[in-house]
Amino acid sequence: MSEALHRIRSGIPTAGAVVLATSLVLPPSPASLPPLHFSRLTSVAGSWRAVLDLAGAPLPFSITIEGPAGGWRGLLCNGERCEPVSGVRVTGDSVVLEIADYAASIGAERRGDSLVGVYRNEGNRGPRVIPFRAARGRWEPGPGPAALVGRWDATFYQDWRTSPRVLELRNGASGLEGTIVSNSGDYGYFSGRATQDSFALAHFDGSFVYLLTGRLDGDTLRGVLHAGLRTQTPWTAVRSTGAPFLTPPTAVTRGDTTAPFRFAFPDLDGTLVSNTDGRFHHKVVLVDVFGTWCPTCHDAAPTLVRLWRKYHSRGLEIVGLAFEVTGDSAVDNRQVRRYRKKFGIPFPLLLAGINDTDVAAAALPQLDGFVAFPTTVFLGRDGRVRRVHAGFYGPATGAQHGRLVAEFEGEIRQLLSEQ
Amino acid sequence: MRREKGEAASTAATGITVARRDRGPRISPSVLLTSHLSLLTFSLLTFCCPPLSAQTPADVTAERDAYARWLATARTSPLAAIAVAPIGNGLRLGPSDADIPLDGLAEHRITERGGRATLEGAGATRPLSRGRSVSVGPYALVLGGVPGRTVVTVFGRIHPKPAPEYFPYDPSLAVSSALEPPRQAGIVRVLALDGTEVEAAEAGTVTVDLGGTTTRLTVRRLPGDADESDLEIYFRDATSGHGSYPAGRFVSLTPLRDGRYLVDFNRARNPFCAYSSAYPCPAPWSGNGLPVAVRGGERYGEREVRGEK
């Protein structure tokens, strides 16, 4: 093993690692980078253990860069889950990973077997810049002890007020993983590692920058949710008793049940599609209020496709109402077409507006208290609202996801059975 | 890269210089020469070149570089701002007699009904959403403000200006404090850095010791995207109008690992009204006046006063 590699493997324990009382092997801080002549590999290609240096602790994730034969490609990974970046530019020892969906990028210089740079995207009140560094290799799996695994009822504290969350922690292929669930949905898949009674789980998709750190203190879990460079929200949690802790997703948004649920928006070919069309007559209809920009909607799409395939012949219709980013119909149309292709969606997707909660609420006046993307509206064969489900528990929520899919299916069967 | 500095640095050197000067008349010429040389050395160190200890930390330099680049290139840079206007009963954009005349743009109209803002013009109607820029010809629009009092900011081409200037880095201006509860928790409407109204949470107060004085400053959480938000202090000090921006400056709090917060006045930023008269200036936050000169962070100097900003 070369000296350079040895230095990286042994790592520099930063204050963050100390706080976590873990033995995270981190990429070296810039001051400790090996000099250039230690370089063994002469390209940025390969697997990299990366961190974003948040003010409170390092956020771990992985990147893989492939090329240059056939062109440069890059993957951004949280645990085993990877998404391709939209572009990779390499100039000598400089590399830029473009994440076009979020107008974001990671720019770094290779110094020996390390990368040092910044993650950035443009804000309206200034740039969002977070230090980035990486070392060659992969994160070792860091499974958590049984004492951490399970469902926790958490109380988040900010500005002397509290709000409820549920933490789902379990062990996956790459170590401890899970998610945070709020009244309006989950925060997506978190992946990381645990050491003894402490853990650090990250969710970084190129736009959302979340790090959940915690430690078991007797029967109580205590920790911090780090969002972006500087926002920190402390929390405490106790093991869930099984009693409901959050507002049930079906009690968040109410539907007008006095009249059929009305919608009328253009599909991707410009044809107006409305609830009075023959295809919806006397059918059970799921109205999926979604956006292609919304990660939880991506989580929900495969479930909806599966349900449509299973129950369409028995009278189920699904229609997606897209609330998109730009309001420019050509741009939004392209985005929604890409989404339709990605998930092989066989049901109509309509361009309903832009992704502003107020705009969506105004477009769907029969929903009272619309707060979440996605929201799934279940219509009975008479076209009236029977259930409104705010948010969606994605696969990251483990058992909750399974239960939710079973609930959706049960509700559909019930509605189909009503003639 | 870590931000764990912050304890006060000594300013004892000044005291020593004064003491020597006081003893001057009774000292032999050779000693006087030595004394003058040391004074000269001291003056050179103090006024010519920043002392070694005051080197700007790499993360502060990186932050400033990124900010300068953002000002010079971003679509929504304040250097590109043309107007900030409330939508009110409707806004006309384009023609020379419009509310906001915009060269080369056919008539457009922005209206807001039931919390829903739309842009009509050139034969099309488009919804507008808060915080997201929308292109209209060569211009960009961003909606901000609180519901019912929505404002639109119009951006055109960037008018390049020199990068912001900063006082020399002074480690004694990075102080740490506990965050004490506010007298009354709740939400207040204040103007953010960009002069738009936001609903800020009363986050509490910090106590800062600077230049031998102790001041309690109000801290508010200004909303950002998703779960990100910044704890901010909008403050004035003895440099306001005398080397720094007259209306005041913003400084963000950085959480430290012991539960306290770092307030680094070297990171103080001007509100956007310092770059463009298109922006309204946030009113000073009551009680947030420091009785000392905070010679750290962003400056606003002679160049700007002469109208060369």
User: Does A214 map to a domain?
Assistant: yes
Residue B61, CB-side half-sphere exposure with 13 Å CA sphere:
7
CATH number of the domain bearing residue A284: 3.40.30.10
Q: What does DSSP assign to residue B256? A: -
User: Does A142 map to a domain?
Assistant: no
Say what the pLDDT of residue B133 is.
Answer: 84
In which band, very low, low, confident or very high, does the pLDDT at B124 lie, cut at 50, 70 and 90?
A: confident
Residue of A124, A15, A64 lying closest to B144 (CA atoms): A124
Say what the pLDDT of residue A26 is.
Answer: 54
Distance CA A386, CA A258 (A): 11
Give the closest of A30, A120, A231 to B229, CB-based.
A231
Same domain, A95 and A179: no
Q: Is the pLDDT of residue B288 over 80?
A: yes
Say what the pLDDT of residue A377 is.
Answer: 96
In which band, very low, low, confident or very high, does the pLDDT at B219 lie, cut at 50, 70 and 90?
A: very high
User: Does A78 map to a domain?
Assistant: yes
Residue B56, CB-side half-sphere exposure with 13 Å CA sphere:
18
Give the closest of A53, A124, A361 to B131, CB-based.
A124
| CA terminus-to-terminus distance, chain B | 32
User: Does A386 map to a domain?
Assistant: yes
Same domain, A232 and A209: yes
Backbone φ and ψ for A71, nearest 5 degrees, come out as 95, 150
Residue A377, beta-bridge partner list: A287, A388
Residue A221, beta-bridge partner list: A216, A237
Distance CA A296, CA A299 (A): 5
Chain-chain contact of A354 with B129 (C-beta, under 8 angstroms): yes
Residue B223 at interface with chain A, using a CB cutoff of 8 Å = no
Which tokens belong to A4?
Answer: 């350079």
Say what the pLDDT of residue A295 is.
Answer: 78
Same domain, A201 and A272: no
Same domain, A345 and A321: yes
Residue B307 at interface with chain A, using a CB cutoff of 8 Å = no
A368/chain B closest Cα distance in angstroms: 14
Average pLDDT of B92-104? 95
Could you give the number of structural domains in chain A? 3
Residue A15 at interface with chain B, using a CB cutoff of 8 Å = yes
Same domain, A273 and A228: no
Say what the pLDDT of residue B73 is.
Answer: 92
Q: Which of A53-62, B64-73, B144-153 has the lowest mean pLDDT?
A: B144-153
CA angle A59, A121, A49 (to 5 degrees): 30
Stronger pLDDT, A1 or B181, i.e. the higher one: B181
* Amino acid, single-letter form, for residue B111: T
User: Where does a domain end: A197, A213, A239?
Assistant: A239
User: Does A144 map to a domain?
Assistant: no
Say what the pLDDT of residue A12 is.
Answer: 24
Question: Residue B242 class from Cβ within 10 Å (0-12 exposed, 13-18 middle, 19+ buried)?
Answer: exposed
Chain-chain contact of B228 with A56 (C-beta, under 8 angstroms): no
- Mean pLDDT score of chain B, rounded to an integer? 81
Contact residues for A217 (Cβ-Cβ < 8 A; gap 6+) = none
Residue of A221, A216, A149, A204 lying closest to A178 (CA atoms): A149
Chain-chain contact of A231 with B230 (C-beta, under 8 angstroms): yes
Contact of A409 with A307, CB cutoff 8 Å: yes
Residue of A48, A258, A234, A252 lying closest to A155 (CA atoms): A234
Say what the pLDDT of residue A296 is.
Answer: 83
3-state secondary structure of B52: helix
A413/chain B closest Cα distance in angstroms: 36
Same domain, A34 and A128: yes
Pairing state of beta strands B100-101 and B91-94? parallel
Residue of B142, B83, B95 lying closest to B280 (CA atoms): B83
Q: Which of A312-321, B16-25, B98-107, B188-197 has the lowest mean pLDDT?
A: B16-25
Residue of A356, A364, A371, A373 for testing the chain B interface, max B β-carbons within 10 Å: A356
Distance CA A59, CA A191 (A): 10
Residue of B222, B232, B257, B262 for testing the chain A interface, max A β-carbons within 10 Å: B257
Residue A131 at interface with chain B, using a CB cutoff of 8 Å = yes
Please tell me the total number of residues recorded for chain A in this structure: 419
Instruction: Compute the Cα dihedral for A289, A294, A299, A302 and give only its sign.
Output: positive
Q: Show the 3-state SS of chain A.
A: CCHHHHHHHHCCCCHHHHHHCCCCCCCCCHHHCCCHHHCCCCCCCEEEEEEEECCCCEEEEEEEEECCCCCCEEEEEECCEEEECCEEEEECCEEEEEEHHHCEEEEEEEECCEEEEEEEEECCCCEEEEEEEEEECCCCCECCCCCCCEEEEEEEEECCEEEEEEEEEEEECCEEEEEEEECCEECCCEEEEEECCEEEEEEECCCCEEEEEEEEECCEEEEEEEECCCEEEEEEEEECCCCCCCCCHHHCCEECCCCCCCCEEEECCCCEEECCCHHHCCCEEEEEEECCCCHHHHHHHHHHHHHHHHHHHHCEEEEEEEEECCCCHHHHHHHHHHHHHHHCCCCCEEEEEECCHHHHHHHCCCEECCCCCCEEEEECCCCCEEEEEECCCCHHHCHHHHHHHHHHHHHHHHHHHCC
Chain-chain contact of B201 with A362 (C-beta, under 8 angstroms): no
Which tokens belong to B236?
Answer: 């004035």
Residue A46 at interface with chain B, using a CB cutoff of 8 Å = no
Give the pLDDT confidence of A309-334 residue by residue, as tens digits.
Answer: 999 999 999 999 998 877 778 888 99
CB contacts of A29 in chain B (<8 Å) are: 1
Q: Is the pLDDT of residue B14 over 80?
A: no
Contact of A215 with A222, CB cutoff 8 Å: yes
CB contacts of B158 in chain A (<8 Å) are: none
Residues 83-102 on B with a CB inside 8 Å of A are: none
B48/chain A closest Cα distance in angstroms: 29
Same domain, A321 and A186: no
User: Does A374 map to a domain?
Assistant: yes
Backbone φ and ψ for A285, nearest 5 degrees, come out as -120, 135
User: Does A61 map to a domain?
Assistant: yes
User: Where does a domain end: A113, A136, A159?
Assistant: A136
CATH number of the domain bearing residue A176: 2.40.128.120
Average pLDDT of B232-244? 95
Contact of A379 with A287, CB cutoff 8 Å: yes
Q: What does DSSP assign to residue B98? A: S
User: Does A244 map to a domain?
Assistant: no
Same domain, A122 and A23: yes
Same domain, A7 and A125: yes
Chain-chain contact of A123 with B224 (C-beta, under 8 angstroms): yes
Say what the pLDDT of residue A185 is.
Answer: 77
Same domain, A33 and A130: yes
Distance CA B138, CA B127 (A): 18
Beta strands per DSSP E along chain B: 81-86, 91-94, 100-101, 108-113, 116-121, 124-128, 134-136, 139-146, 149-155, 174-177, 187-191, 197-210, 213-223, 229-235, 249-255, 261-264
Which tokens belong to A288?
Answer: 């999926």
Average pLDDT of B62-75? 92
CATH number of the domain bearing residue A25: 2.40.128
User: Where does a domain end: A136, A163, A182?
Assistant: A136
Residue B299, CB-side half-sphere exposure with 13 Å CA sphere:
17
Residue A413: which domain range?
249-417
Average pLDDT of B7-15? 27
Which tokens belong to B238?
Answer: 């003895």
Same domain, A409 and A293: yes
Average pLDDT of B193-207? 94
Over chain A (419 residues), the average pLDDT of each successive run of 10 is 25 28 45 41 87 94 91 94 93 92 88 93 86 94 92 93 93 92 85 92 93 96 95 95 85 90 94 96 96 86 97 97 83 91 96 80 87 92 94 84 94 94
Note if the bond before B164 is cis, omega within 30 degrees. Answer: no
Distance CA B124, CA B108 (A): 10
Average pLDDT of B28-53? 40
Q: What does DSSP assign to residue B239? A: T
Same domain, A173 and A216: yes
